[in-house]
Structure 1
Amino acid sequence: MNAKPGDWLIVEIAGTDNATRRAKILEVGSPDGAPPFKVRWLDTDREGLLFPGVDARVLTREELDALDTLTAERATVVQRHIAHRRGTS
């Protein structure tokens, strides 16, 4: 897993209330972008040094924006479907 400062680390945590965590990558451990990464967690604003596990992935800002757009579009479709079903019940 390689990254550059400004990329985002997404950690999918199965079986917890906080299913996804995001951290902005501030520094990388080597010139080729390999871990460890110094990150700032979005949910706590805390910084730390991290060796990502198998539940993590790195996204560029553009990839993260695209993911957020897709997620919002899916949520809108689900909400419309629910509203339609309530209106026809």
Structure 2
Amino acid sequence: MKAQVGDWIIVEGNRLGEPRREGEVVEVPHADGSPPYRVRWTDSDRTTLVFPGPDARVQHGGAYTRPTSG
């Protein structure tokens, strides 16, 4: 997984009823874009250091658009 500042980390809930988390990558300490990343979460406005797991993905290229439910 590679990311850069401005990308989004999306972490899918892995339990029934657990919501998806979305956060903007605000710092990438490694020049090659490898984890960990400093991420500002939309649900809490907190910034944390993230080591993404298998339930996470990177949305490249700026603004993330949350999918709408149908």
What is the TM-score with the length of structure 1 in the denominator?
0.68
| Runs of 4+ off more than 3 Å | none
What is the root-mean-square deviation in Å for CA atoms of aligned residues?
1.6
| More helix by percentage | 1
For the pair 1:30 / 2:49, whether they are aligned, the reply is no
Query: Counterpart of 2:6?
Result: 6
Q: Which runs of 5+ in 2 are unaligned?
A: none
Pairs aligned (count): 69
- Greater C-alpha radius of gyration: 1
For the pair 1:18 / 2:18, whether they are aligned, the reply is yes
The structure whose RCO (Cα within 8 Å, separation 6+) is larger is: 2
What is the TM-score with the length of structure 2 in the denominator?
0.85
Percent identity over paired residues: 42
1:49 is paired with a residue of what secondary structure?
strand
TM superposition shift of 1:19: 2.3
Q: Which runs of 5+ in 1 are unaligned?
A: 76-89
